[in-house]
Amino acid sequence: MGLRFTKMHGAGNDFVVIDRRSATAPLDAALIARLCDRHRGVGCDQLLTIEPPRTAGSAFGYGIWNQDGSPAGQCGNGARCVVAWARRARIFEGASVRVDSPSGPVQAALQGEGIEIDMGRPDFSPHAVGFDGDRPEATLRAEGHDWWFGLVSMGNPHAVTRVDGVEDAPVSAVGRALQADRRFSDSCNVGFAELIGRDHIALRVFERGVGETLACGSGACAAVAVLHRQGLLDDQVRVTLPGGDLHIRWSGDGSPVRMRGPAQFVFEGEIEA
Ligand SMILES: N[C@@H](CCC[C@H](N)C(=O)O)C(=O)O
C-alpha cells in the first residue's frame, strides 16, 4: 500500500502535502528525504503534514519540513496551501478557518482566487530570531561588500537586506555566508529586497534548509516589516518574487501582518512508502 500525497504550490514555492491526521508513529527522516527529493522522490521545497488540531477552536494542525529534513516554525505559502487542501478535503466549511501552525494558531480567510493569512505580529527581538546581539540587526562582510541586515521573526527567523537590483544580487553566496554565521543559534532565511516604490518591492529569498526558492511568504512579510519600520513603505505592499506576487498589509508595531496570495493544486499521487 503506497502513501498518498498532493503536490501544490504557492507562487512557485512548491510542496508535498500528506495527511497524517491518524498517524501513530513519528515521521521518518528517510521518508521526508524521499518525498522532497526532486530526482529520487516527488520533489518540493517543503513537506507539509496535515495533523490533528493542537488547540481548541482550530480545525486542524500542520507541520513544516524543509527539503533538508529540518523542521520549520512558519511557512506563509504553505499556510495558504494547507488551508486550500483542507477546504477541498472538507475539514472545514465556509470562508474562514483557524489552524495550528508549528508556531501557534493562524487565522485564514478565503478571498476569491486567493487566501489571506494573518501571520501574527512580527517580533523584532534578537532573542526571537535566535541572534546573539543587542539589536535586531546584523552586519556581514561578504563578496567584497559590507552588508546590513534587519532581523525579524515571523514565527521563523529572517534577515533582510536592501539591494539596488534583485536581478544582480549575490543571493546564494551572501545567503549561504549569513546562514553559516555562528551568531544565529538556528540559522536564518535571508531576503534581498529592492525598493520599487512605497507600495511595491521586488524580493528574492535564500531559504534555510532549501536554498533560493521561487517565493517565500514569511520572507515577504519579513521584508515588508523591516522596510516599513524604516519608514520606506506604505501599509499595503505588493511583493514581486521570482514565482509571482504576494500582497502584504501591515500598519506597524503592535498590529499583525496579513499576507494574501494564491494556493494551487498540481497533482495527486501515491508513492511506495
Ligand atoms: N517557504 C516558506 C518558509 C519555509 C520555512 C523556512 N525555510 C524556514 O526554515 O524557516 C514561506 O513561504 O514562508
pLDDT score at 249: 98
The answer to whether residues 31 and 134 belong to one domain is no
pLDDT digits (tens, 9 = 90+) for 114-139: 999 999 999 999 999 999 999 999 99
The answer to whether residues 138 and 231 belong to one domain is yes
The answer to whether residues 41 and 159 belong to one domain is no
Helix/strand/coil (H/E/C) assignment for every residue in the chain: CCEEEEEEEECCEEEEEEECCCCCCCCCHHHHHHHHCCCCCCCCCEEEEEECCCCCCCCEEEEEEECCCCECCCCHHHHHHHHHHHHHCCCCCCCEEEEEECCEEEEEEEECCEEEEECCCCECCHHHHCECCCCCEEEEEECCEEEEEEEEECCCEEEEEECCCCCCCCHHHHHHHHHCCCCECCCCEEEEEEEEECCEEEEEEEECCCEEECCCHHHHHHHHHHHHHCCCCCCEEEEEECCEEEEEECCCCCCCCEEEEECEEEEEEEECC
Whether the per-residue pLDDT at 185 is higher than 90: the answer is yes
16: closest CA among 75, 60, 73, 59?
Answer: 75
Overall average pLDDT of the 231-257 stretch: 97
Q: 72 CB less than 6 Å from ligand 1?
A: yes
The answer to whether residues 147 and 110 belong to one domain is no
Is 44 in the active site? Answer: no
The answer to whether residues 24 and 85 belong to one domain is yes
pLDDT score at 22: 96
Chain position carrying cell 520599487: 196
Residue scoring higher pLDDT (113 or 164):
164
Residue 1 CA to ligand 1 centre (angstroms): 31
The answer to whether residues 71 and 17 belong to one domain is yes
- Report the chain's mean pLDDT, rounded to a whole number: 97
Residue 230 CA to ligand 1 centre (angstroms): 24
Whether the per-residue pLDDT at 151 is higher than 90: the answer is yes
Overall average pLDDT of the 67-93 stretch: 98
List the domain range (segments joined by +) for residue 18: 3-118+262-271
Q: How many CB atoms lie within 10 A of CB 182?
A: 7
Residue 240 CA to ligand 1 centre (angstroms): 17
Q: 161 CB less than 6 Å from ligand 1?
A: no
The answer to whether residues 185 and 132 belong to one domain is yes
The answer to whether residues 160 and 102 belong to one domain is no
Residue 146 CA to ligand 1 centre (angstroms): 26
Whether the per-residue pLDDT at 23 is higher than 80: the answer is yes
pLDDT score at 145: 96
Q: 208 CB less than 6 Å from ligand 1?
A: yes
pLDDT score at 191: 99
The answer to whether residues 37 and 132 belong to one domain is no
The answer to whether residues 267 and 159 belong to one domain is no
Q: Tell me how many domains the chain contains.
A: 2
pLDDT score at 226: 98
Whether the per-residue pLDDT at 272 is higher than 90: the answer is no
The answer to whether residues 39 and 154 belong to one domain is no
Whether the per-residue pLDDT at 221 is higher than 90: the answer is yes
Q: 101 CB less than 6 Å from ligand 1?
A: no
> Does ipTM come in above 0.95?
yes
Overall average pLDDT of the 8-31 stretch: 96
Overall average pLDDT of the 26-51 stretch: 95
Q: 218 CB less than 6 Å from ligand 1?
A: yes
Overall average pLDDT of the 157-176 stretch: 98
Is 81 in the active site? Answer: no
pLDDT score at 88: 97
Nearest-atom number in ligand 1 for the CA of 13 is 1
Overall average pLDDT of the 201-205 stretch: 99
Whether 174 contacts 160, CB under 8 Å: no
Q: 210 CB less than 6 Å from ligand 1?
A: yes
Overall average pLDDT of the 197-207 stretch: 99
pLDDT score at 182: 97
pLDDT score at 1: 74
- Known binding residues for substrate: 13, 46, 66, 76-77, 156, 189, 207-208, 217-218
The answer to whether residues 85 and 194 belong to one domain is no
CATH number, domain containing residue 228: 3.10.310.10
Q: Which three cell numbers stand for residue 22?
A: 491518524
Active-site option among 36, 44, 188, 216: 216
Active-site option among 75, 81, 188, 221: 75
pTM here?
0.97
Whether the per-residue pLDDT at 273 is higher than 90: the answer is no
